[in-house]
Homo-oligomer: A and B are copies of this chain.
Amino acid sequence: MKIGKSTVPHTAICTSDEHTIVVRGHNLCEDLIGHLSFADYFFLLLTGKQPDAACSAVLNATLVAIAEHGLVPSVQASRMTYAAAPDALQGAVAAGILGCGSVILGASETAGKLFADVAARVDAGASLDDAATAVITELKAARQPYPGYGHPLHKARDPRVDRLIAVATEAGADLRYVEIAQAIERAIPAVTGKDLRMNVSSAIPAVLMGVGFPVRSLRGVPILARTAGLIAHLAEEAETPAGFALSYQATRELQYDGDVPDGFGAHA
């Protein structure tokens, strides 16, 4: 069935013949395998360009920063899935990735779009602090969350924030979006009365956008990073099962609020 306008698919990522695999214009075997790190290859796949040293340093740092934070909900979902379906590692990884959504790990992308909005206002003549105040005021009026600010555990400040900024600074990355992120951090208490500090989901776009990482693929960074963490958790699950124990603990205080038929529970 024809859906949409085009019926001929196009791609510019990869082609191959019997002897050669071409990726983004390069011979995969001769020019890339053994010459490029995996994170740099991710950037090349995504953008068609090889990253410079600052970009490589910052991208690796963000992937390391976000790959793992213990038994968060998506890791629990993944380990429970693996406990129930141990033959399909890929299914358990997929279940974990499905939790990289708007509430939890998707904030990187939403924050990045916010920073791009501030940058556009500054380019149009606004001062940095005015632009930051304006976007936060608009989010408040729309009763939207402030993506990338505040953290349930790290209330003082997510320790990954300063570290990522330090890596970007040392690497000589463009710090424009870091400054935008910090301007928003200053604007939030003034506008909202809440002291919500930058968390890792604002630090990631803040440092990545300065090295040319595309805003539209920001959600890909936590997805790729968490995939590494999930594979490690599933290796641990295979040796030291925790999935069913997690699900047992999860419901120990579960309260059932519905009706019961006459006599239910009388046997106990």
Tell me the A residues contacting B by CB distance below 8 Å.
1-4, 6-34, 36-39, 41-42, 45-46, 48, 57, 59-61, 63-65, 67-74, 76-78, 80-81, 83-95, 97-106, 152-156, 159-160, 162-164, 166-167, 170, 214, 216-217, 219-220, 223-225, 227-229, 231-236, 238, 240-261, 264-265, 267-268
- A100–B95 contact, CB under 8 A? no
Of B76, B83, B155, B170, which one neighbours A250 at CB under 8 angstroms? Answer: B76
Contact B249 A12 (CB under 8 A): no
CB <8 Å contact, A160 and B223: no
- Given A223-B89, A249-B251, CB of A84 within 8 Å of CB of B65: no
User: B29, A159: Cβ atoms under 8 Å?
Assistant: yes
A45 — which chain B residues lie within 8 A by C-beta? 67-68, 228-229, 231-232
What are the residues of chain B within 8 A of A242 when measuring CB–CB? 6, 9-11
Q: How many copies does the complex hold?
A: 4
* Chain B residues, CB < 8 A from A95: 77, 81, 94-95, 98-99
The listed residue (B26, B37, B71, B77) touching A77 by CB distance below 8 A is B77
Contact in complex: A248, B76 (CB < 8 Å): no
CA distance A261 to B159 in the complex (A): 15
A45 to B227, CA, bound (A): 11
Residues of B within 8 A of A18 (CB): 153-156, 267-268
| Closest chain B CB from A40 CB (angstroms) | 9
In the bound complex, CA of A94 to CA of B229 (Å): 15
The answer to whether A245 and B6 have CB atoms under 8 Å apart is yes
Contact A102 B85 (CB under 8 A): yes
Say which residue of B27, B99, B254 sits within 8 Å of A10 (CB atoms): B254
Which of B20, B28, B71 is A65 in contact with, Cβ under 8 Å? Answer: B28
CB-CB under 8 A for A13 and B88, given A38-B64, A103-B83, A249-B252: no
**Contact A254-B9, Cβ < 8 Å, known A33-B167, A160-B21, A229-B45:** yes
Across the interface, which residues of B come within 8 angstroms of A91, CB to CB?
88, 90-91, 94, 98, 101
Residues from chain B with a CB closer than 8 A to the CB of A65 are 28, 33
9 contacts between A and B (CB under 8 A): A1-B251, A8-B245, A28-B65, A34-B61, A45-B228, A71-B251, A72-B247, A85-B100, A95-B99
Q: B220 to A231, Cβ gap below 8 A? A: yes
Across-interface contacts of A251 in B (CB, < 8 A): 1, 9, 70-71, 76, 246, 249
Q: A161 — nearest CB in chain B belongs to which residue?
A: B29
